[in-house]
Structure 1
Amino acid sequence: MLSRRAHHLASHSIPTSCGWQLQWRSKSSHARIAKGDDLGPTRSGDYQTFRARRDGGGKELPLPPLLDPLVIERRALWEAPKAQPKAADFTPFQKKIQANPYAHALSSPVRQCRANIILLPVALLTSLHVRPHPTTGDPWLLPVSLTTVQKYLGPPYHFVESQFLAKQLGKKKQWLRGVYARFEEKFGGNVLKKLVWREDLAQVILDLKQKQLVKKLSWSTGIKGRLTPVASPRPEDIHQVDDVSCILIFRSLRTQANECNDRAKDLAAQMDKWASYVAKNYMDKLDPHAAPHVTHKSPSWYSEPVVPRLQPRAQFPELDFNTTIWRGRKVAVYSLTDLLGEDKARGLIQGSVYAEENCVAVKCARHNVPMEVLLMRLQAYLARPGP
């Protein structure tokens, strides 16, 4: 017995400071795990493999799933990575989906908005990530996903693609309500206490989105033929153009109704300012919980007395676009002046082959999808709620 055991053990010597040598034995690592037929005679059933008994009687024993070749083979079919589709084998419908910017946006992963707790595709959300300040080292929430192609940037802070909402979250640190447990697990409570939301974050996001769009549009306006000039976005002027996906117009689409809406927004903002002033300075007289006969304390959601306001709740604008009709279906119309500003829009087409054109048509093609997604996201970010 000792000779057989010694065959599987090996001696090792370790020198010590006293000159003595300690000897220990370890098992040999050349053993091979038996699988399938190596375990003996087997019989394959419909769903599993059985091992025959040596005595010829009794019930057959099934092989463990980790050793059963039938189970391993079927599991491999499910665990094998799916082959990448080949563009040359696409059907006409698949080619349409591949060149559709709305399909790409809606097929992006679904994430939760931290402001209103709704689920939306991530292409319709603004993403912020924690990054240290280069000077102080304090953690800041920044839109680094707009400046890098790195896949994983840490736990994200998502909210609806809206400049109006970005400004609202910055007021009275409302964004703190959207910080969730994953942030604390990743960075710890001490880091969250130092987390900074920039006062001009809404404008920073807008500038980065405009910079992204200008970069994409510069590629399209740099060479003649990538965009198709048209007289106007009216149906009769674009009917003869094939495969129209959207229209880019170089002038503004704002009307007198938009100016009236802006004036109404300014009046509502002024009234909201004075309402907040009254609620803050006359809190002892307006607070119902401060009356002498009231014994209970104010609830946790109560922050200030309720006073009349023209806009009592934050409204989320719908994802609405200016459209025109091309061969019986709607296509989006984007104003580069409204999206980029007059100076950036003029600088984009100045000196290009489209400098003398009023508007151009963008063809439905896979290489135009990133640009159209950026147009859609910037249009959604600049949308404002109605009166």
Structure 2
Amino acid sequence: MPGRSLPLRLHISNPQCRYKTTAAVLRGDALGPTQQSAHRTHRILKTGETLPLPPLLDPLVLEQRSKWTQPKKPPDAKTFTPFQKKLYATPYAHMLASPVRQCRLTHILLPSDLLLSLHARNHPGTTDPWILPVSATTTTKKKEKQQLGAPFRFINRQVVLEELGRRRKWAHSMGPRFEEAVGKTRLSKIVWREDMVDFVLGLMRKRVLGALRWGFGRVGQYVPVASPRTVDLEGMMTQKGNGNGNGNGKGVDVSCVLVLGTLKTHAEDLQARCKRISDTLKELATSTAEILRPYLDPHRQKGVTHHPPWWYRGPLVPTLQPRLWIPPLEFKTTVCGGKKVPVYSLCDLLGEENLNELLADSKFKDDKCLVIPRGRHNVPVETLLMELQAFLASPGP
């Protein structure tokens, strides 16, 4: 074909292998004389005719394709609309916007901020791999998260963590990526801490305490209020110049409420007692069914020749209904401005000792309730409070 030809090189590494060809990609002035139309680039041949370039060599096509592959610019908070500003200051939006991942125990897809991530790390003394919540001890920067390696994720609940620790269920719930990162030779040496529940709870409380100390040490970050009742909260929203120290002379847009006391009642003690009784009854029923398995299992009766199906786990035993056995969780809320606002009890979440340490040198030690105003700078502490509350959540009485 007339015109400049592309340089072609043949590489033969083995007489029995296929020919491997590599072509040099010409760009810019190396293409020779060209002319461009609205959407395509044509090369002018020596005969005066034009030949359209392939899409992989056409600079116009490559430029149009690159527009859809370039990452978007980060949003500019100065150009936000009022609705975007309100959404940007909502912790629920940030948690739901996190990447969706799968719980290895329940196989449910959830945002990653609602899951607890464990990573494999070498023990400094024995060099055996340990499963530890490394993400709870480091910052949440994107680059540092990528350096932690493949995680072992599951729902951020205390009962789920306890269930994983029973009978080494965590060993059967690992994903292929986590097993590949650890290595098949070291997979049998992985160690699961016996005090994993208390260890994770201590780390989460430590992060919440650090975030609350930042707010307690600055004027106007938290506003005292008489109680979490709707009347007191709406009074803060409507009053002007409330003297909270923020200097704006406007009412407070309530985002959440902090109670410097306990919200537990005597009914919750009865609920815990009922749970212990139901767990004991379940263990007795399961052990009785296991002892009487030759008589209750229909596959072991005389005259039965077929094997049980793969989903069969044993004879059925009487248990409580699922709604009674696993009732819905209860999260404390109050109503403010016609919408529900979360209420967090710092005594129940952090423990009485940690709360007394937090209020020791604070100006809020004589108050009973605080309000966190809505703002982007308060999103991290609200997110940590939600994570800790979800970890310790239990069914209501």
Q: How far off is 1:279 after superposition?
A: 3.7
With over 3 angstroms needed to count, the CA separation of the structure-2 counterparts of 1:284 and 1:256, relative to structure 1, is same
Identity between Structure 1 and Structure 2 (%):
48
What is aligned with 2:246?
Answer: none
Distance 2:324 2:103 in 1: 15
Distance 1:274 1:209 in 2: 35
State whether residues 246 and 362 of structure 1, in contact with CA within 8 Å, keep that contact through their aligned partners in structure 2. Answer: yes
What is aligned with 2:162?
Answer: 167
Q: How far off is 1:115 after superposition?
A: 1.5
Distance 2:127 2:292 in 1: 40
What is aligned with 1:96?
Answer: 86
State whether residues 329 and 396 of structure 2, in contact with CA within 8 Å, keep that contact through their aligned partners in structure 1. Answer: no
What is aligned with 1:203?
Answer: 198
State whether residues 268 and 396 of structure 2, in contact with CA within 8 Å, keep that contact through their aligned partners in structure 1. Answer: no
Question: 1:351 pairs with 351, 361, 364, which one?
Answer: 361
Of stretches 34-43 and 233-242 in structure 1, the one that deviates more from structure 2 is 34-43
What is aligned with 1:189?
Answer: 184
User: Does residue 227 of the first structure (1) align with residue 219 of the second (2)?
Assistant: no
State whether residues 329 and 395 of structure 2, in contact with CA within 8 Å, keep that contact through their aligned partners in structure 1. Answer: no
Q: What SS does the corresponding residue of 2:303 show, helix, strand or coil?
A: coil
Distance 1:293 1:127 in 2: 50
With over 3 angstroms needed to count, the CA separation of the structure-2 counterparts of 1:236 and 1:262, relative to structure 1, is same
Distance 1:290 1:189 in 2: 38
What is aligned with 1:4?
Answer: none
Distance 2:394 2:173 in 1: 22
User: Does residue 147 of the first structure (1) align with residue 142 of the second (2)?
Assistant: no
Of stretches 284-293 and 198-207 in structure 1, the one that deviates more from structure 2 is 284-293
State whether residues 50 and 61 of structure 1, in contact with CA within 8 Å, keep that contact through their aligned partners in structure 2. Answer: yes
With over 3 angstroms needed to count, the CA separation of the structure-2 counterparts of 1:319 and 1:48, relative to structure 1, is farther
With over 3 angstroms needed to count, the CA separation of the structure-2 counterparts of 1:371 and 1:319, relative to structure 1, is farther
Residue type of the alignment partner of 1:89: T
Distance 2:295 2:323 in 1: 24
Q: Which runs of 5+ in 2 are unaligned?
A: 1-23, 237-251
What is aligned with 2:174?
Answer: 179
With over 3 angstroms needed to count, the CA separation of the structure-2 counterparts of 1:225 and 1:281, relative to structure 1, is same
Q: Which runs of 5+ in 1 are unaligned?
A: 1-31
With over 3 angstroms needed to count, the CA separation of the structure-2 counterparts of 1:316 and 1:119, relative to structure 1, is farther
User: Does residue 267 of the first structure (1) align with residue 259 of the second (2)?
Assistant: no
Residue type of the alignment partner of 2:335: I
Distance 2:179 2:191 in 1: 15
Q: What SS does the corresponding residue of 1:185 show, helix, strand or coil?
A: helix
What is aligned with 1:132?
Answer: 122
With over 3 angstroms needed to count, the CA separation of the structure-2 counterparts of 1:139 and 1:186, relative to structure 1, is same
What is aligned with 2:20?
Answer: none
User: Does residue 55 of the first structure (1) align with residue 47 of the second (2)?
Assistant: yes
State whether residues 226 and 232 of structure 2, in contact with CA within 8 Å, keep that contact through their aligned partners in structure 1. Answer: yes
Of stretches 238-247 and 294-303 in structure 1, the one that deviates more from structure 2 is 294-303
Q: What SS does the corresponding residue of 1:208 show, helix, strand or coil?
A: helix
Q: Figure out how many residues of one structure are paired with residues of the other and give that number.
A: 354
Residue type of the alignment partner of 1:185: E
Q: How far off is 1:151 after superposition?
A: 1.4
1:191-241 CA distance string (max 9 Å, x none): 333333333222222111111111111111223422100000111112232
Higher Rg: 1
Q: How far off is 1:285 after superposition?
A: 4.2
TM-score of the superposed pair, with normalisation by structure 1 = 0.83
TM-score of the superposed pair, with normalisation by structure 2 = 0.81
Distance 1:65 1:260 in 2: 73
What is aligned with 1:42?
Answer: 34
